[in-house]
Amino acid sequence: MAIRINLDVMMAKRKMSLNELSEKVGITLANLSILKTSKAKAIRFSTLEEICKALDCQPGDILEFVPDEENGGR
Amino acid sequence: MKITGKRSITWFLKIAVDLVLVINIIVLIALPFILNAIYNSPALQPGQSGERVSTLWLINEIPDESYAFMLIFLYFSGICTAFMLFSLHRVLRNLADGRILDHANASALKHLSVACGSLVSAFIVKIIFYNTFLTMFCFFIFIVLALFSLILSEVFRQGAVVKEENELTI
SS (H, E, C) B94-159: HHHCCCCCCHHHHHHHHHHHHHHHHHHHHHHHHHHHCCCHHHHHHHHHHHHHHHHHHHHHHHHHHH
Sign, Cα dihedral of B111, B113, B114, B119: positive
In this structure, is residue A73 part of a structural domain? no
C-alpha B101/C-alpha B167 separation (Å) is: 12
B165 touches chain A (CB under 8 A): yes
In this structure, is residue A45 part of a structural domain? yes
Q: Which domain holds residue A9?
A: 3-65
One-character DSSP codes across B18-30: HHHHHHHHHHHHT
Suggest the residue from B164, B166, B170 to mutate for an interface test with chain A (most A CBs closer than 10 A): B170
B54 has a pLDDT exceeding 70: no
In this structure, is residue A51 part of a structural domain? yes
Which of B169, B147, B168, B166 has its CA nearest to residue B158?
B166
User: Closest residue of B to A31, CA-based?
Assistant: B170
In this structure, is residue A23 part of a structural domain? yes
In this structure, is residue A72 part of a structural domain? no
In this structure, is residue A26 part of a structural domain? yes
CATH number for position A54: 1.10.260.40
Lowest mean pLDDT among A11-15, B13-17, B60-64: B60-64
Number of domains in chain A: 1
List chain A pLDDT tens, one digit each, 74 residues.
588 898 989 999 989 998 999 999 999 999 999 988 888 889 999 999 999 999 999 999 999 998 876 655 44
One-character DSSP codes across A8-22: HHHHHHTT--HHHHH
In this structure, is residue A41 part of a structural domain? yes
C-alpha B53/C-alpha B62 separation (Å) is: 7
B170 contacts A32? CB cut-off 8 A: yes
